[in-house]
Structure 1
Amino acid sequence: MDNAQYVGLSRQMVLRRQMDIVANNIANADTNGFKVESLMTKEVPGPPAVTAGGPAPVKFVGADAVARDFGQGGLRRTDSPLDVAIDGQGFFKITTKAGDRYTRDGHFRTDDTGRVTTQGGDVVSDDGGGEITIDPAKTGQLTIAPDGTVSQGTERIGKVGVFKFDSLSALQKTGSNQYQNPSNQQATAVTDVKVRQGMLEGSNVNPILEITRMIEVSRAYEQTTQMMSAEADLSRSSISRLGRVQ
């Protein structure tokens, strides 16, 4: 296999990865707080398959990293008292069996003990890292102020914690629309953010743009396949002619 075939294969591998990411974006277009992703590529130098007269090194195509756009998604009203959206930067902090996680999905509920949790049962942290517990025996209206203060009737019972990072690159996706912080960077409480009760932040995916990208990736894959096929035909033709000359 010559250099063109190797380069073409490296390009196809990257395009398949791009297609997976675009498809995942489209699938999460209606996921609360989901952030659109894109694949970063790079040139990967490598030794040529054939050294005689060929350039060295050959530049292959490689996947570099997945970039994530943390831009604000649109807010939609639900009027559910435990639905909250962050209007601005920051993340809700939740406690899971695997440790602390961060999310923009504010579709919360209460468990059997009255603790505020995610739909998956992970406990939502207050601004100090503790729990927020609602007393089901009390009949006071549950309100969440723009600063995150949670009240049941006239009694203050906690404050929804919103945390931020100096560099969002510290966050690593873990699934279930959650992120972990494997770095040494510390999350700090946000004081100038607005928390909107009865609302949810939607995905910041633009479906039309993602479908356009999917078409572009599909066409690029087809073009690469055609190039590799033409290169293979040329090689076979050259070998056939060489055989007749001998």
Structure 2
Amino acid sequence: MQTPSYIALSRQTALWRQMDVVATNVANMNTPGYKAEGMMFSEYLARSRGSEGAGSDRLSYTIDFGTVRDLARGPMEATGNPLDLALNGEGYFEVETDFGRFYTRNGRLMLDQDGMIVTSSGHPVMSTDDTPFFIAPNETTVTVARDGTVSTENGAIGQLRVVSFEDEQALLRVQAGMYDAGEQEAQDVARVTVEQGMLEGSNVEPTAQITHMIQVHRAYESVQRMIEAESERQKQAIKTFTGSSGA
């Protein structure tokens, strides 16, 4: 494979990964608290073989070296459900999973069969006392104050733990709207603002993402045509060379 093919392949590989990121955004446009992601690209310049000096030709390769997350808050949506919670400001809810503590801004909560407050995936939401919340069978009213204090008609039962991180971009998305902090330490948010009966929507802009998907698809097809044309050029060159050598 010659240099033009290597350059085209680097671009095509980056486009394939970009399509995967855009498709994930589109799939999560209705996931509460989801943050859109985008690719980060870099240009790698290499001197072409046999060229020297300041004015020598350079080859440009495409390198994708990660994703960047749009941390802008999504639109606030009123639901009237007392177990739908939205964070009006910084922070993430802390949840317990089989793989350790994960973090999310998706406040679509519910009660499981044991009366425990869990996420829509069934993960317990944690309190500042490092325990989950349980609602007794005879308790029918759940109130969440703006500071995250959870109460029933029988009184307060705990306060939601809301945390922040030094580098939110370093959080690893493990599933829709849920993140693994890795080696980062979770820091309690000093001033928590929780909105009961509300959900923070995804900050994905559907029209922009679908338009982007079409653009990436067309660019990928264009590079594919270039690779096929370059392959055909090489075949013709080899055919011409072997034919002239045999003459």
- With normalisation by structure 2, the TM-score equals 0.88
Measured after TM superposition, the shift of residue 136 of structure 1 is 2.1
Amino acid at match of 1:30: N
Inter-partner Cα distance in structure 2 for 1:215 and 1:170: 29
Deviations 1:148-168 (A, max 9, x none): 111112611111121111211
Amino acid at match of 1:21: V
Does residue 207 of the first structure (1) align with residue 206 of the second (2)?
A: yes
Inter-partner Cα distance in structure 2 for 1:83 and 1:109: 8
User: Match of 1:11?
Assistant: 11
Distance 1:47 1:174, change over 3 A: farther
User: Match of 1:105?
Assistant: 106
User: Match of 2:187?
Assistant: 188
Measured after TM superposition, the shift of residue 244 of structure 1 is 5.5
Measured after TM superposition, the shift of residue 52 of structure 1 is 5.8
Deviations 1:23-76 (A, max 9, x none): 11111111111110111122356797xx56698985432220021112101111
Secondary structure in 1 matching 2:86: strand
When structure 1 is superposed on structure 2, of 189-198 and 98-107 the one drifting more is 189-198
Inter-partner Cα distance in structure 2 for 1:114 and 1:163: 24
Measured after TM superposition, the shift of residue 243 of structure 1 is 4.8
When structure 1 is superposed on structure 2, of 153-162 and 116-125 the one drifting more is 153-162
Secondary structure in 2 matching 1:113: coil
Amino acid at match of 1:215: I
User: Match of 2:83?
Assistant: 82
Secondary structure in 1 matching 2:107: coil
Amino acid at match of 1:146: R
Inter-partner Cα distance in structure 2 for 1:79 and 1:157: 21
User: Match of 1:96?
Assistant: 97
- With normalisation by structure 1, the TM-score equals 0.88
CA contact (8 A) 1:11 1:224 kept: yes
Distance 1:98 1:46, change over 3 A: farther
Give 5+ residue unaligned stretches, structure 2.
none
Inter-partner Cα distance in structure 2 for 1:171 and 1:20: 19
CA contact (8 A) 1:147 1:191 kept: no
User: Match of 1:151?
Assistant: 151
Inter-partner Cα distance in structure 1 for 2:193 and 2:225: 53
Secondary structure in 2 matching 1:123: coil
Inter-partner Cα distance in structure 2 for 1:12 and 1:64: 14
User: Match of 2:172?
Assistant: 172
Secondary structure in 1 matching 2:10: helix
Give 5+ residue unaligned stretches, structure 1.
none
Secondary structure in 1 matching 2:222: helix
Secondary structure in 1 matching 2:158: strand
Inter-partner Cα distance in structure 2 for 1:29 and 1:60: 32
Alignment of 1:24-43 (within 5 A): 24-43=24-43
CA contact (8 A) 2:68 2:169 kept: no
Percent identity (aligned): 37
CA contact (8 A) 1:35 1:205 kept: yes
User: Match of 1:223?
Assistant: 222
When structure 1 is superposed on structure 2, of 147-156 and 97-106 the one drifting more is 147-156
Distance 1:52 1:244, change over 3 A: farther
Q: Supply the RMSD in Å over aligned alpha carbons.
A: 2.4
Measured after TM superposition, the shift of residue 193 of structure 1 is 3.1
Deviations 1:125-151 (A, max 9, x none): 112322222222134x32111111111
Amino acid at match of 1:224: V
Q: How many residues align?
A: 242
Measured after TM superposition, the shift of residue 227 of structure 1 is 2.3
